């Protein structure tokens, strides 16, 4: 008997979803979400985001004190946006295509403390957990000046607790760095494909690193199991956490202010297209939730995944969420994009924000490097391979059959000249210079066709 996927054979799925043949052949695809804009379960609310924003403000003086690189922004962990006109020209030439409107980069590669989008969710959940432990013990109230958390007495208090997390790398860095700074004993469960330099850096910051030969979901499952046996251990669950999600969602209102300050309008006549690299889905789904709160129907959010690991696309397309793996469709989950090497999507992210996502697209391995190099050559920004995925967004939207259909269906064709395309450059700030140069050199050796 053939293995069934959610009660059906592969053949049955392929008949229902013709795009699957291309996905199985590792071809790049764009998929439009039929549930976009539909009602969904109320798993998160605007109040969760507001609570996260308020909590991050309470912690700002602590962060400014302990992580001086956050001091210029008053302890608020946020990244800049940059125009990318030279990159736009290069893409237009390379793909023989005009990209109307403005191309912008959201540089989460420059987020302070840990240099990736995980600094939004991961650090937030560590801070929330620390606050709850301290309040419960009667050592802190929400009205105190949180700089006291840097005192030796708090460090001793937190050292009685531990934090654990399963990670492909960047979440581990965010949790490990801030967890260790507060005094927690931190264990990061990592998949074999995580970069060696991330493991080394974590150990140097005082976190314990446990490695698993299997992939990321096994690292998460094993971490979760071990943490459950210890009542003083908080497990940061990348596949299910609402707190991570709320931390990511705070990006929405902040981006709104940044775009306004840059003189870029977002409304019906000035649509905003956002392209987010996606792994397990928690980060981009949280950001998408925040973006929808800030911009409503004027923002159109697309996720970008490697052709070797399109787990979120498959989760939404089949409606099976975490009950489907890219391996079920014969894909190998092998990608140089560390943060995106995820075979099975988060159930929480798909259910909480699946209906907010316009569609998903996939990108070939070589192109990640091509775009990493293009961004460096034109705009002089370094990102990691995962983070370059979003650069494909405008090209797919404007040239793919499904992209064009989307623009037509949503009456966007007439607004493109005043549109903003923003690719979320999700990480790369901590990558050692020699790794950056090796990735760049690899791109120089590739010949990628359009």
Ligand X SMILES: *Cc1c(COP(=O)(O)O)cnc(C)c1O
Best CA proximity match to 393, nearest among 290, 235, 273 = 273
Q: Out of 122, 179, 223, 281, point to the residue binding ligand X (CB under 6 A).
A: 281
Residue ranges in 427-446 that form contacts with ligand X under rule CB under 6 A: 427
Q: Of 315-354, which residues contact ligand X (CB under 6 A)?
A: 339-340
| Exposure letters 417-433 (e unless 16+ CB within 10 A, then b) | eebbbbbbbbbbbbbee
Spell out the long-range contacts of 89-94 with Cβ–Cβ below 8 A and sequence spacing 24 or more: 89/378, 90/374, 90/377, 90/378, 91/374, 91/391, 91/394, 91/395, 94/374, 94/450
Binder of ligand X out of 55, 88, 106, 118 (CB under 6 A): 118
Out of 284, 354, 393, 394, which residue is the one contacting ligand X (CB under 6 A)? Answer: 284
Nearest distance from C-beta of residue 169 to ligand X, angstroms: 7
**Which segment (58-66, 91-99, 112-120, 180-188) binds ligand X by CB under 6 A?**
112-120
Among 25-33, 38-46, 260-268, 282-290, which window interacts with ligand X (CB under 6 A)?
A: 282-290
Minimum CB distance to ligand X smaller for 52 or for 117? 117
Q: Does 280 participate in binding ligand X (rule CB under 6 A)?
A: yes
| Cβ proximity to ligand X, 183 vs 279, nearer residue | 279
Output the smallest distance, CB 374 to ligand X, in A.
17
12 membership: H or E segment, kind and range: helix 10-16
Cβ 304 to ligand X shortest distance, Å: 9
Instruction: Give the DSSP H or E segment for 170.
Output: helix 170-182
Q: Cα–Cα distances in Å, from 230 out to 219, 226, 234, 241, 409? A: 17, 7, 9, 19, 52
Residue 426 interacts with ligand X (CB under 6 A): yes or no? yes
CB of 243 to ligand X, least distance (A): 13
Choice from 61, 75, 183, 279 touching ligand X (CB under 6 A):
279
Q: Could you say whether residue 172 binds ligand X (CB under 6 A)?
A: no
| Interaction of residue 290 with ligand X, rule CB under 6 A | no
Tell me which residue of 380, 392, 394 sits closest to 107, measured CA to CA: 380
Please tell me the count of residues contacting ligand X according to CB under 6 A: 19
Element spanning 235, H or E = strand 233-236
Give the pair of three-digit tokens for residue 236: 């940061």
Task: Candidates 122-130, 229-237, 361-369, 382-390: pick the segment binding ligand X (CB under 6 A).
Answer: 382-390
Q: At its nearest, how many Å lie between ligand X and the CB of residue 260? A: 26
282 is an interface residue for ligand X by CB under 6 A: yes
Task: With contacts defined by CB under 6 A, name the span among 74-82, 189-197, 316-324, 384-392 that binds ligand X.
Answer: 384-392
Q: What is the DSSP string of 278-319?
A: -SSSHHHHHHHHHHHHHHGGGEEEEEEEETT--HHHHHHHHS
Percentages helix, strand, coil for the chain, rounded to the nearest 5? 55, 15, 30
* Pairing mode of beta strands 30-32, 359-363: antiparallel
From the list 48, 41, 53, the residue with the least C-alpha distance to 242 is 48
Helices and strands, number each (H, E), in the chain: 18, 11
The residue among 272 and 431 lying less far from ligand X, judged by its C-beta, is 431
Does residue number 116 form part of the binding site for ligand X (CB under 6 A)?
Answer: yes
In the complex, which residues of this chain contact ligand X (CB under 6 A)?
116-118, 170, 277-284, 339-340, 384, 386-387, 426-427
């Amino acid at each position: 008997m053939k293995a069934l996927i959610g009660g059906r054979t592969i053949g049955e799925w392929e008949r229902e979803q013709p795009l699957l043949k291309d996905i199985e052949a590792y071809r790049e695809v764009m998929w439009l979400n039929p549930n976009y804009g539909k009602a969904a379960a109320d798993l998160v609310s605007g109040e969760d985001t507001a609570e996260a924003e308020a909590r991050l403000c309470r912690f700002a003086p602590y962060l400014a004190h302990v992580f001086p690189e956050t001091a210029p922004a008053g302890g608020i962990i946020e990244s800049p946006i940059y125009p990318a006109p030279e990159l736009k020209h290069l893409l237009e030439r390379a793909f023989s295509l005009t990209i109307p409107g403005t191309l912008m980069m959201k540089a989460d590669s420059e987020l302070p403390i840990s240099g990736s989008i995980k600094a939004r969710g991961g650090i937030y959940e560590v801070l929330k957990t620390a606050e709850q432990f301290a309040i419960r013990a009667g050592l802190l109230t929400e009205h105190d000046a949180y700089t006291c958390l840097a005192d030796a007495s708090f460090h001793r208090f937190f050292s009685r607790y531990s934090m654990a997390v399963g990670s492909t790398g960047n979440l581990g860095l965010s949790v490990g760095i801030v967890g260790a700074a507060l005094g927690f004993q931190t264990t990061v469960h990592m998949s074999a494909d995580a970069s060696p330099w991330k493991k080394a850096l974590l150990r140097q910051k005082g976190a314990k690193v446990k490695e698993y030969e299997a992939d990321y979901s096994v690292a998460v499952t094993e971490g979760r199991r071990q943490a459950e046996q210890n009542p003083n251990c908080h497990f940061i669950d990348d596949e299910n956490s609402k707190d991570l999600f709320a931390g990511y969602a705070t990006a929405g209102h902040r981006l709104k202010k940044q775009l306004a300050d840059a003189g870029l309008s977002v409304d019906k006549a000035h649509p905003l297209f956002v392209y987010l690299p996606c792994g397990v889905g928690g980060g981009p789904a949280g950001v998408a939730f925040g973006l929808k709160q800030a911009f409503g129907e004027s923002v159109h959010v697309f996720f970008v995944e490697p052709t070797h690991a399109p787990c979120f696309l498959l989760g939404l397309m089949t409606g099976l969420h975490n009950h489907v793996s890219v391996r079920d469709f014969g894909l190998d989950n092998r990608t140089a994009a560390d943060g995106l090497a995820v075979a099975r999507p988060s159930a929480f992210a798909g259910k909480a924000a699946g209906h907010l996502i316009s569609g998903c697209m996939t990108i070939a391995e070589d192109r990640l490097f091509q775009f990493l190099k293009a961004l460096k050559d034109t705009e002089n920004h370094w990102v990691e391979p995962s983070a370059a995925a979003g650069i494909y967004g405008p090209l797919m939207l404007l040239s793919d059959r499904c992209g064009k259909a989307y623009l037509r269906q949503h009456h966007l064709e007439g607004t493109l000249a005043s549109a903003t395309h923003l690719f979320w450059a999700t990480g790369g700030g901590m990558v050692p210079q020699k790794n950056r140069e090796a990735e760049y050199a690899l791109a120089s050796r590739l010949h990628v066709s359009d």
